[in-house]
Amino acid sequence: MSDVATRHTNRSELGFAALLGAVGVVVLVDAAGLHAPYSQADPVGPRVVPFIVGGLLLLCAVLLAIKVLRGDNAPADDGEDIDPNTPIGWRTVLPLIGFFILNIILINPLGWVISGTLFFWGSVWSLGSRHYVRDGIVSLLMALGTFYGFYLGLGIHLPAGVLEGVL
């Protein structure tokens, strides 16, 4: 591996270690803010698991950073059929980001079923599918399936928006 490739790998791996560390800190800070009254049924409480996960994330970040700084880099992945010199396909990435942001904006006023349908349909359109009707039907079924899956299976109420009372 050339010096340039090694420096690029070091930077990216150190960046990933920093991201792991940042996520670990966020989890720990968030866990510290959890307050639940003592319960006889649950003497452990809701803070234990987030503290364990945050601590493990920080430990992994530190160990990865030490490993990378010692020069032990991950081997290049030869199994991928990609050209690292190919530029980013912004015609795919930007619409995906746009539909994701649109979903965030529309989920409360319109509800999950409508915003999710638009998000799923926009995602497959961005990735190149041109079967508009079929993709719309599948997107609607996926949005309805996830809405009722969360509601009935997990007890999580996704926003119904303008379909409140219909769903």
Predicted confidence at residue 76, as pLDDT, reads 65
At 4, the pLDDT band (50, 70, 90 cuts) reads: very low
- Is the model more confident about 91 or about 74? 91
> Has residue 112 been placed in a domain?
yes
Residue 78 lies in a domain: no
Give the least confident one: 18-22, 75-79, 130-134: 75-79
- 13 and 61: one domain? yes
Which tokens belong to 124? 């497959």
Q: How far apart are CA 5 and CA 162, in angstroms?
A: 52
Q: Is residue 74 part of a domain?
A: no
108 lies in the same domain as 49: no
Q: Three-state SS for 81?
A: coil
**Which among 80, 77, 96, 76 is positioned nearest to 88, based on CA atoms?**
96
DSSP letters, 51-73, are HHHHHHHHHHHHHHHHHHHTT-P
Residue 125 has pLDDT above 80, yes or no: yes
Last residue of a domain, one of 69, 99, 117: 69
Give the per-residue pLDDT at 41: 61
What is the spatial distance between Cα 118 and Cα 159, in angstroms, rounded to a whole number?
15
Q: What share of residues in the chain are helix, strand, coil (percent, to 5)? A: 70, 0, 30
Q: How far is CA 102 from the centre of its chain?
A: 16
Range(s) of the domain holding residue 29: 3-69
The amino acid sitting at 62 is V
Over residues 9-53, the pLDDT tens digits come to 577 889 999 999 999 999 999 998 887 776 656 667 778 889 999
Alpha helices in the chain (DSSP H): 3-32, 48-69, 90-110, 112-126, 132-148
Q: What is the pLDDT of residue 138?
A: 98
| Chain position carrying tokens 């926003």 | 159
Closest CA to 121 of 109, 108, 111, 134: 134
User: Are residues 94 and 53 located together in one domain of the fold?
Assistant: no
DSSP secondary structure, 92-104, as one string: HHHHHHHHHHHHH
Same domain, 99 and 154: yes
Run of H or E residues at 109: helix 90-110
Q: What is the pLDDT of residues 63-73, one digit of tens each?
A: 999 998 888 87
User: How many structural domains compose the chain?
Assistant: 2
Residues 105 and 158 reside in one and the same domain = yes
pLDDT at residue 100, as a whole number: 96
In a domain, 79, yes or no: no
Residue 12 lies in a domain: yes
157 with 98, same domain? yes
- Give this prediction's pTM: 0.58
